[in-house]
Amino acid sequence: MTESASNLMAIMFGLAVCALIVAVGWRSVQNRRILRMQGTNGAETVIVANEDDQVTSVATTRE
């Protein structure tokens, strides 16, 4: 195998691995539900749930 063919295969393999990582990450982001609520006192609550509506994180902030 020539050096240029080897380089081309390495680049293609790297792009395939990158595409796989992006696809898995995209799927995990798409299956989340995000609910944002703002109270009268300015506090904001963000609730993140997965596709089964199981809460994965809750964060509350104040301005």
Domain ranges of the chain: 1-30, 32-63
List pLDDT tens digits, range 2-48: 888 899 999 999 999 999 999 888 877 777 788 888 888 888 888 88
Query: Token pair for residue 29?
Result: 């982001």
> Is 56 within 8 Å of 50 (Cβ atoms)?
yes
Question: How far, in whole angstroms, is CA 46 from its chain's centroid?
Answer: 17
> Is 10 within 8 Å of 18 (Cβ atoms)?
no
Residue type, 59: A
pLDDT at 50: 79
pTM for the model stands at 0.48
What's the rounded Cα separation, in Å, for the pair 44 and 30? 23
